Structure 1
Amino acid sequence: MPMHRIPLFCLAVLATMAMASAAMAKPQPARVSQADIIKNAAPGDWRRLDPDNTLVMELQGKPVIIELAPRFAPQHVANIRILTREGFYTGIGVVRVQDNYVTQWADPYDEDKDKAKPLGSARASLPAEFSIAYKGLPLSHFKDADGWAPVSGFVDGMPVAADPAKNKAWIAHCYGVVGAARGNPLDSSNGTSLYAIIGQAPRVLDLNITVVGRVVKGMDVLASLPRGPGAMGFYEKPEQAIPITRARMLADIPVGEQPAIEILRTDTPTWTALVEASRHAIGGWSVHSALHSNICNRSVPTRDIPKSTP
Structure 2
Amino acid sequence: MSLLLALAAVAASPVSAKPAAALSPGEVVAASPAPDWQAISPDDLLVMDLAPASNGRPRRVVIQLMPEPFSQGWVGNVRKLAAAHWWDGLTVYRVQDNWVSQWGDADGEDKAKAKLLPAGIEQVPQERYVVRPEGPERSATHEELDTWLATIEGTHAAWHALARKGSKVKDSDPYADETFFYRGWPVAASQAGPSAWPVHCYGSIGVARDMPPDTGTGAELYVAIGHAPRQLDRNLAVVGRVIEGMQFMSSLPRGPAPMGVYADPAERTPIVSVRPASEVADLPVYEFLSTESASFRSYAEASANHREPFYVQPAGGVDICNLKVPVRRRK
Output the TM-score relative to the length of structure 1.
0.84
Q: How does 1:18-29 map to 2 (within 5 A)?
A: none
1:83 touches 1:122 (CA, 8 Å); kept in 2? Answer: no
- Aligned equivalents of 2:72, 2:264: Cα separation in 1: 33
**Equivalent in 268, 279, 284 of residue 259 of structure 1:** 284
Higher mean displacement: 176-185 or 239-248: 239-248
1:180 touches 1:195 (CA, 8 Å); kept in 2? Answer: yes
1:158 touches 1:213 (CA, 8 Å); kept in 2? Answer: no
Q: Shift of the alpha carbon at 1:84? A: 0.4
**Equivalent in 44, 48, 53 of residue 53 of structure 1:** 44
Distance 1:201 1:97, change over 3 A: same
Amino acid at match of 2:30: K
Q: How does 1:27-38 map to 2 (within 5 A)?
A: 31-38=22-29
- Aligned equivalents of 2:99, 2:30: Cα separation in 1: 32
Q: Does 1:78 align with 2:69?
A: no
Q: Shift of the alpha carbon at 1:175? A: 0.6
Amino acid at match of 1:274: Y
Question: Hey, what does 2:35 align to over in structure 1?
Answer: 44
Q: How does 1:98-177 map to 2 (within 5 A)?
A: 98-123=96-121, 125-128=123-126, 129-133=128-132, 135-136=146-147, 140-143=167-170, 145-177=172-204
Q: How does 1:264-275 map to 2 (within 5 A)?
A: 264-275=289-300
- Aligned equivalents of 2:118, 2:328: Cα separation in 1: 36
Render the CA deviation track for 1:9-34: whole Å, top value 9, x for unaligned: xxxxxxxxxxxxxxxx9x98863322
**Equivalent in 210, 214, 217 of residue 244 of structure 2:** 217
1:109 touches 1:238 (CA, 8 Å); kept in 2? Answer: no
Render the CA deviation track for 1:171-224: whole Å, top value 9, x for unaligned: 111111111011112334100000010000111111111111111112111000
**Equivalent in 253, 261, 268 of residue 234 of structure 1:** 261
**How many residue pairs were aligned?**
279
Render the CA deviation track for 1:46-75: whole Å, top value 9, x for unaligned: 122222221110123211111111321111
Distance 1:244 1:148, change over 3 A: same
Q: Shift of the alpha carbon at 1:102? A: 0.5
Give the % identical residues: 38
1:135 touches 1:167 (CA, 8 Å); kept in 2? Answer: no
Render the CA deviation track for 1:129-153: whole Å, top value 9, x for unaligned: 3111263367631135222111101
Unpaired runs of 5+ in structure 1?
1-24
Amino acid at match of 2:306: A
